[in-house]
Protein backbone atom coordinates (compact mmCIF):
# COMPACT_ATOMS: atom_id res chain seq x y z
CA UNK A 1 0.00 0.00 0.00
CA UNK A 2 1.32 3.42 -0.96
CA UNK A 3 1.41 6.46 1.27
CA UNK A 4 -1.29 8.77 -0.03
CA UNK A 5 0.00 12.24 -0.86
CA UNK A 6 -1.73 15.20 -2.52
CA UNK A 7 0.58 18.08 -3.40
CA UNK A 8 -2.02 20.30 -5.09
CA UNK A 9 -4.91 21.57 -2.95
CA UNK A 10 -6.71 24.86 -2.36
CA UNK A 11 -8.23 26.64 0.60
CA UNK A 12 -10.21 29.83 1.24
CA UNK A 13 -6.97 31.73 0.62
CA UNK A 14 -7.92 31.42 -3.06
CA UNK A 15 -10.87 29.54 -4.56
CA UNK A 16 -11.12 26.58 -2.22
CA UNK A 17 -14.19 26.05 -0.06
CA UNK A 18 -12.44 25.05 3.17
CA UNK A 19 -10.19 26.65 5.74
CA UNK A 20 -6.80 24.86 5.89
CA UNK A 21 -7.57 22.93 9.07
CA UNK A 22 -10.76 21.43 7.67
CA UNK A 23 -9.09 20.59 4.38
CA UNK A 24 -6.32 18.81 6.28
CA UNK A 25 -8.82 16.92 8.43
CA UNK A 26 -10.81 15.76 5.41
CA UNK A 27 -7.61 14.63 3.71
CA UNK A 28 -6.59 12.74 6.85
CA UNK A 29 -10.00 11.07 7.05
CA UNK A 30 -9.62 9.96 3.42
CA UNK A 31 -6.28 8.29 4.19
CA UNK A 32 -3.79 10.96 3.17
CA UNK A 33 -0.52 11.25 5.09
CA UNK A 34 0.77 14.45 3.47
CA UNK A 35 -0.83 17.31 1.57
CA UNK A 36 0.40 20.64 0.26
CA UNK A 37 -1.90 23.65 0.28
CA UNK A 38 -1.09 25.49 -2.93
CA UNK A 39 -3.47 28.38 -3.37
CA UNK A 40 -3.62 30.38 -6.59
CA UNK A 41 -1.15 33.25 -6.61
CA UNK A 42 0.34 36.07 -8.66
CA UNK A 43 2.07 39.34 -7.75
CA UNK A 44 -1.09 40.60 -6.02
CA UNK A 45 -1.24 38.05 -3.21
CA UNK A 46 1.94 35.97 -3.00
CA UNK A 47 3.24 37.87 0.03
CA UNK A 48 -0.18 37.68 1.69
CA UNK A 49 -0.74 33.95 1.29
CA UNK A 50 2.59 32.43 2.18
CA UNK A 51 3.34 33.89 5.65
CA UNK A 52 -0.10 32.86 6.87
CA UNK A 53 0.02 29.48 5.17
CA UNK A 54 3.44 28.68 6.63
CA UNK A 55 2.11 29.41 10.11
CA UNK A 56 -1.08 27.37 9.79
CA UNK A 57 0.63 24.41 8.08
CA UNK A 58 3.19 24.21 10.88
CA UNK A 59 0.41 24.33 13.48
CA UNK A 60 -1.55 21.50 11.82
CA UNK A 61 1.56 19.38 11.24
CA UNK A 62 2.74 19.60 14.85
CA UNK A 63 -0.41 17.77 15.98
CA UNK A 64 1.02 14.64 14.35
CA UNK A 65 -1.93 13.36 12.33
CA UNK A 66 -1.05 14.69 8.87
CA UNK A 67 1.85 16.64 7.41
CA UNK A 68 0.78 19.83 5.64
CA UNK A 69 3.23 21.70 3.43
CA UNK A 70 2.88 25.38 2.49
CA UNK A 71 3.02 26.13 -1.21
CA UNK A 72 1.28 27.97 -4.01
CA UNK A 73 0.13 27.63 -7.59
CA UNK A 74 1.16 30.43 -9.94
CA UNK A 75 -1.95 30.90 -12.02
CA UNK A 76 -2.72 32.66 -15.32
CA UNK A 77 0.35 34.89 -15.03
CA UNK A 78 2.31 35.99 -18.06
CA UNK A 79 4.96 33.36 -18.89
CA UNK A 80 7.68 36.02 -18.64
CA UNK A 81 6.81 36.51 -14.95
CA UNK A 82 6.90 32.85 -13.90
CA UNK A 83 10.60 32.58 -13.10
CA UNK A 84 10.68 35.69 -10.91
CA UNK A 85 7.48 34.71 -9.10
CA UNK A 86 8.76 31.18 -8.49
CA UNK A 87 11.98 32.62 -7.07
CA UNK A 88 10.02 34.96 -4.81
CA UNK A 89 7.86 32.06 -3.62
CA UNK A 90 10.97 30.11 -2.62
CA UNK A 91 12.36 33.11 -0.75
CA UNK A 92 9.08 33.53 1.11
CA UNK A 93 9.22 29.91 2.26
CA UNK A 94 7.06 27.90 -0.14
CA UNK A 95 7.88 24.20 0.07
CA UNK A 96 5.99 23.30 -3.11
CA UNK A 97 5.81 25.59 -6.14
CA UNK A 98 3.28 24.64 -8.81
CA UNK A 99 2.36 26.37 -12.04
CA UNK A 100 -1.17 26.19 -13.44
CA UNK A 101 -0.45 24.49 -16.75
CA UNK A 102 -2.12 24.85 -20.14
CA UNK A 103 -5.24 22.87 -19.27
CA UNK A 104 -7.80 22.26 -22.01
CA UNK A 105 -10.57 23.94 -20.01
CA UNK A 106 -9.14 27.42 -19.30
CA UNK A 107 -7.49 30.20 -21.38
CA UNK A 108 -4.01 29.81 -19.92
CA UNK A 109 -1.41 31.95 -21.74
CA UNK A 110 0.46 30.07 -24.46
CA UNK A 111 4.02 29.34 -23.43
CA UNK A 112 3.14 28.77 -19.77
CA UNK A 113 4.20 25.11 -19.77
CA UNK A 114 7.67 25.81 -21.16
CA UNK A 115 8.24 28.87 -18.99
CA UNK A 116 7.28 26.93 -15.87
CA UNK A 117 9.64 24.07 -16.66
CA UNK A 118 12.49 26.45 -17.50
CA UNK A 119 11.89 28.10 -14.10
CA UNK A 120 12.53 24.81 -12.31
CA UNK A 121 9.26 24.67 -10.41
CA UNK A 122 8.26 21.44 -8.64
CA UNK A 123 5.07 20.41 -10.45
CA UNK A 124 3.46 21.49 -13.70
CA UNK A 125 -0.23 21.07 -12.99
CA UNK A 126 -2.69 19.69 -15.56
CA UNK A 127 -0.47 20.56 -18.56
CA UNK A 128 -3.06 19.81 -21.23
CA UNK A 129 -1.73 18.81 -24.65
CA UNK A 130 1.85 19.33 -23.55
CA UNK A 131 4.39 19.32 -26.37
CA UNK A 132 7.27 16.96 -26.90
CA UNK A 133 9.69 19.83 -26.35
CA UNK A 134 8.18 20.61 -22.95
CA UNK A 135 8.07 16.98 -21.84
CA UNK A 136 11.70 16.43 -22.83
CA UNK A 137 12.70 19.54 -20.88
CA UNK A 138 10.69 18.41 -17.84
CA UNK A 139 12.48 15.05 -17.91
CA UNK A 140 15.85 16.81 -18.12
CA UNK A 141 15.15 19.31 -15.34
CA UNK A 142 13.30 16.94 -13.00
CA UNK A 143 10.00 18.83 -13.08
CA UNK A 144 7.08 16.57 -12.26
CA UNK A 145 4.08 16.47 -14.61
CA UNK A 146 0.69 16.18 -13.00
CA UNK A 147 -1.98 13.57 -13.54
CA UNK A 148 -5.15 14.89 -11.97
CA UNK A 149 -8.44 13.63 -10.65
CA UNK A 150 -9.96 17.10 -11.16
CA UNK A 151 -12.93 17.19 -13.51
CA UNK A 152 -12.16 18.98 -16.76
CA UNK A 153 -8.44 19.15 -16.12
CA UNK A 154 -8.33 15.36 -16.29
CA UNK A 155 -9.36 15.36 -19.96
CA UNK A 156 -5.70 15.27 -21.03
CA UNK A 157 -4.48 12.65 -18.53
CA UNK A 158 -4.07 10.05 -21.27
CA UNK A 159 -1.94 12.38 -23.39
CA UNK A 160 0.23 13.35 -20.42
CA UNK A 161 0.74 9.69 -19.50
CA UNK A 162 1.65 8.74 -23.06
CA UNK A 163 4.13 11.59 -23.44
CA UNK A 164 5.73 10.97 -20.06
CA UNK A 165 6.24 7.32 -20.94
CA UNK A 166 7.75 8.20 -24.32
CA UNK A 167 10.27 10.70 -22.93
CA UNK A 168 10.83 9.27 -19.44
CA UNK A 169 9.35 12.24 -17.61
CA UNK A 170 8.23 11.85 -14.00
CA UNK A 171 4.56 11.90 -13.04
CA UNK A 172 2.69 12.67 -9.85
CA UNK A 173 -1.03 12.33 -9.20
CA UNK A 174 -2.92 15.09 -7.40
CA UNK A 175 -6.57 15.89 -6.69
CA UNK A 176 -6.41 19.67 -7.16
CA UNK A 177 -8.79 19.60 -4.21
CA UNK A 178 -11.12 22.57 -3.76
CA UNK A 179 -14.11 21.07 -1.95
CA UNK A 180 -14.95 18.50 0.76
CA UNK A 181 -15.39 15.56 -1.61
CA UNK A 182 -12.27 16.07 -3.68
CA UNK A 183 -9.90 13.76 -1.77
CA UNK A 184 -10.59 10.59 -3.72
CA UNK A 185 -8.44 8.08 -1.84
CA UNK A 186 -6.19 5.28 -3.02
CA UNK A 187 -8.73 3.13 -4.88
CA UNK A 188 -10.16 5.88 -7.07
CA UNK A 189 -6.76 7.50 -7.63
CA UNK A 190 -5.39 4.17 -8.85
CA UNK A 191 -8.37 3.58 -11.13
CA UNK A 192 -8.08 7.07 -12.65
CA UNK A 193 -4.42 6.40 -13.38
CA UNK A 194 -5.31 3.06 -14.97
CA UNK A 195 -7.98 4.80 -17.02
CA UNK A 196 -5.28 7.07 -18.40
CA UNK A 197 -3.38 4.03 -19.61
CA UNK A 198 -0.77 3.62 -16.88
CA UNK A 199 0.37 0.14 -15.89
CA UNK A 200 0.48 -0.94 -12.26
CA UNK A 201 4.27 -0.54 -12.33
CA UNK A 202 3.94 3.00 -13.67
CA UNK A 203 1.32 3.82 -11.06
CA UNK A 204 3.62 2.59 -8.31
CA UNK A 205 6.45 4.74 -9.65
CA UNK A 206 4.11 7.74 -9.82
CA UNK A 207 3.10 7.41 -6.17
CA UNK A 208 6.75 6.96 -5.21
CA UNK A 209 7.57 10.18 -7.06
CA UNK A 210 5.29 12.10 -4.68
CA UNK A 211 7.11 10.61 -1.71
CA UNK A 212 10.46 11.50 -3.25
CA UNK A 213 9.37 15.09 -3.80
CA UNK A 214 8.15 15.42 -0.21
CA UNK A 215 11.43 14.04 1.10
CA UNK A 216 13.35 16.47 -1.10
CA UNK A 217 11.54 19.60 0.04
CA UNK A 218 11.45 18.60 3.70
CA UNK A 219 15.22 18.21 4.08
Mean pLDDT of 192-210: 97
120: left (phi over 0), alpha (psi -120 to 50) or beta: left
Count CA atoms closer than 13 A to 122's CA, side-chain side: 27
Short-list 48, 112, 118, CA closest to 76: 112
Q: Count Cβ atoms within 10 A of the Cβ of residue 219 and give its class: 0-12 exposed, 13-18 middle, 19 or more buried.
A: exposed
pLDDT of 65-118, one tens digit each? 999 999 999 999 999 999 999 999 999 999 999 999 999 999 999 999 999 999
pLDDT at residue 29, rounded to an integer: 96
Give yes or no for residue 1 having a pLDDT over 70: no
pLDDT at residue 2, rounded to an integer: 77
Q: How confident is the model at residue 219 (pLDDT cuts 50, 70, 90)?
A: confident
How many CB atoms sit inside 10 A of residue 197's CB?
14
pLDDT at residue 171, rounded to an integer: 98
| Interatomic CA distance for residues 218 and 34, integer angstroms | 11
Domains of the chain: 4-217 (3.20.20.140)
Amino acid sequence: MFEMIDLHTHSIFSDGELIPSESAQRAYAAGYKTIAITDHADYSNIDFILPRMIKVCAKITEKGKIRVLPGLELTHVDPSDIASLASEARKLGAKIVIVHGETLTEPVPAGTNLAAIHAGIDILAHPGLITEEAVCLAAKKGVFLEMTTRRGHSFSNGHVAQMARKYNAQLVLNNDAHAPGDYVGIKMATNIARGAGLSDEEIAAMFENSQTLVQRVCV
